[in-house]
Structure formats: structure tokens, C-alpha cells
Amino acid sequence: MGRYPVVIPEALDEAQMVLNQEVVLSAQDPIILHGPYQYTLDVMGGAAAWLRRSGYMQLPQIPKELRNMEIISSLRRTGTNWPLGALMSITQAKFHAFDQRDKVNGLLGLATECQDISAFPNELKPDYSIEVATLYQRVTQFLLRRNGSLAVLSRARGLEGAEKRAKRQHDIKLPSWCPDWSNFSNYNEEISTTLSWIEHSDSSFAEALGFSKQYAASGDMEVGSSHTDKALEKEGVLQLSGFQVDQVKHVHRFDICRSSDEDKTNTLDAQMTPVLKLALSSTRVHDILDWARCLIQSTTANQCPLNGKDENQGFSDGVAWLHGFLERNGDIQSIVANTFGKDAMMTRLHNAVTGGIPEHYAALVRNFCFDRAFIMTRDEKMGIAPSNARSGDTISVLFGGGVPYLARPFGEYWLFGGESYIEGLMAGEAIEDYKKGLVQKETFRFK
């Protein structure tokens, strides 16, 4: 094959981090060998991208090697280096490493931060004498200081009881706030979807790991320098500024199995019945359509853009599902009618459908409610939080966070629970309350 790297598809099954770097940086387009056939990585990556855009990539018959090819091909096509945080976000669930330090070190040759040898960050210099936990904490602190965003905490270890902990090959002793980038037991399966986002421009350049535009819980406030207490860092403590804005009051944990072959409509109906009953306990919203919008945006994390739709179209999809659900479940329809008034309730929902596709809403629910819980807060806001949320947990808005975070008191410290989506806290409302003197800024020290 001369100067063309040769890749066996099965090598991309485990897809070791070092192999990824060699393939991405190869001067010529790598050749994929599959039996007697030969394809270029560019061709295979393009085919995989089309499958993803067309909604076929999650089908069980699509081999995982093809998904890996799309990622590696996209890294080659950009023609520029990606920031380390974005690289780790896009590779950590799909690619494995024999040495868990290579989940970081194996990407340094591709990272924007490491291209100038004369200015190579000390925190990122490979050192195989340190423990994995030490490396992960060091890199996280570096990315927080450099980027000012909490998006890097999307895969934080979190609290006991979350599905993601049970899916790891290794039990690395990390603080609750530190991302666990180690290998998952299964390839990108039964893993919760994070609320962070890699923004792509028209040139396919990954700007950085951050949050989508509809997530602005902390406004334009960045992490800042308040967390840079070196003594606390050595103790494994992360110090962040923010606000206590609410408290979890009621919790219903979803039990969604993405790989189930059961009747998906009936299964989702069963999952959503207690959710709707809990959502109806709110007295903040008195109009059926306003209530429906809160429910729909909460249970999809307002991620209708993933279906190529705006919020109004996403609302129509959700209303189409809700209308069908109420028709299938007369007992819940009666409860809703008693809350909002029976007259014209179903007619108003029907009129709001306007071409909505219920399956699109249902797909987002299965995606974003996996390993999560539906919650009602003390202030009667609805939302989704990590699956191990419990009554009494604090809802916090932290500087640099596009979303609210679950926090649990732990003596003089806090435990970091993870990302949440809470209606009424996603557009900088906490910052406005702070300016009005309604909430107080404080320091959270996470263990």
C-alpha cells in the first residue's frame, strides 16, 4: 500500500487511542480492508455521516466500527486541531485504552493546546509515574482554568447509584466532581447522554466543548479564578462559585432500556404515567399548553434541534405524543381534565399538534431520560436530574455552567451530583435574581 496506512475494521472495534492518533495524523487517506474489498477512510466516513444524519446510526445492525470511522474521518477532515476537552468528549465513550492514562495522553498529538512545543502546558506533559486519578484531576483543573466552562464536568464521577458507575471497567477512586474518562464495559451502549455540546462551524471546525445556545443557566459568567486554591486542589477539592437556587422535593426515576425489543409505545406509556401524575402536582402553571410545554421541554432537555427542528416544531411533536397518550390512557386524561378543566382540553391539544410527529418526541425522551430521574422542586419547577437524585438535594447554578447542577451536602463540603435540566432556570434567571438581591453568591467546595 506504499505510504497509505492500512486499517483492519476489527482494529477499530476496540479502537485504541494510540491507533486513532496515528490514523488521524497520517499524510495519506488510510485504506480500510474488509475481506477482499478496499475502501478509503474518507469514503467510509462519509457513508457513516450520511447514516447518522438520516437517523440510521443507532440501528442494531450498524456495526460499531462504522461509527468509529465517522469520528476518525471527521477529525481528519477538519484540517485543524481540536481542543483537548472536545477530543476527550467525542472519544471517551467509544474508544478504549489499555492504560487509562492514554485516554488523555493518546490525544495530545491532536490537541490544540499541545501544538506549540515551546509552550507545552506542564499539566499535560505525559507522566506515567502518576496515578490515573491524579492525572484526571490535574487535566480537569487545567481545562477549567483555560476554558472557563464547566462542560468538562459532564462525565463527572457523581454520586453513588448512577448507572454510569456500573458500566465502567475500572473503579478509579475519583472525587465526585472529577470526570471519569476510563473505559466503559460496553461500546457506547446504555450510557447516558450528556448535556454538553461540541459546536461545529460551517467549516466543520470544533470550536470547543461547551453548551448549546438554549442552555444559559449562569448567563455569561465563567468559572473564574475562585477555584484555584492549590492547597484544596492537593486535597482533591474543587472550589466553585454560584448559588443555591432550589431543592429537590419529589423524584421519579426513569427505567428506560434503550436496547429493549418490547413494544416501545406501551413501554414509554408505562414510564411516563407516573411522570405526568407528578408533573400535575405543580400549581405554578394554570394553562394546559403552558404546562405541556414545561413537561415537553423538561423530558427532552429541550433538545429538539437534534431532530432538525426549532422549539415550536419540537413542541408540536411533544403535544402529538401527549394527545395520543391521553387518548390511550383515559384515567390520566381524567386527572388532566380535573386540573385544567375538561371543556376543550383535548381540542386545544389537538389544535397544537400542527404536523407534530410523536415518535420524534419519544426518541428524545428515551435518549435524554436514560439514567435520569424526573423531579419536582420545592418551588414546583419540573425537570430531569441524575438518576440518583433524592429529596432534599440542592439545585445549584454554578459560574461557567450552562445547566443547573445537583449538589448534596457532605459535612463542610459538597458532593457533585451532575447536570440537570430545570424549567425556569435555563436562561439566566438565577443571575437576574442575584442582581435583584434575591439569592446570595457563595462558594461550593466539592469533594
Give the residue with greater pLDDT, 28 vs 203.
28
C-alpha cell belonging to residue 353: 399538534
Q: Write out pLDDT tens, residues 175-196.
A: 999 999 998 876 556 678 899 9
Q: Where are the beta strands (DSSP E) in 4-97?
A: 6-7, 31-34, 37-40
Summarised one tens digit per residue, pLDDT across range 87-126 is: 898 888 778 888 999 999 989 988 999 989 999 999 999 9
Q: Which of 29-43, 59-73, 314-328, 422-436 has the lowest mean pLDDT?
A: 59-73
3-state helix, strand, coil split of the chain in percent (to 5) is: 40, 20, 40
Please state, as a whole number, how many other Cβ atoms lie within 10 Å of the Cβ of residue 84: 26
C-alpha cell at 32: 480500510
**Segments making up each domain of the chain, as ranges:** 1-77, 255-369
Instruction: Give the pLDDT band of residue 51 (cuts 50, 70, 90).
Output: confident
φ and ψ of 305, to 5 deg: -55, -25
Q: Is 194:401 a contact under the CB 8 Å cutoff?
A: no
Write down the pTM of the prediction: 0.87
Question: Which one has a higher pLDDT value, 37 or 60?
Answer: 37
Query: Cα separation of 258 and 141, whole Å?
Result: 34
Contact 183, 392 (CB under 8 A): no
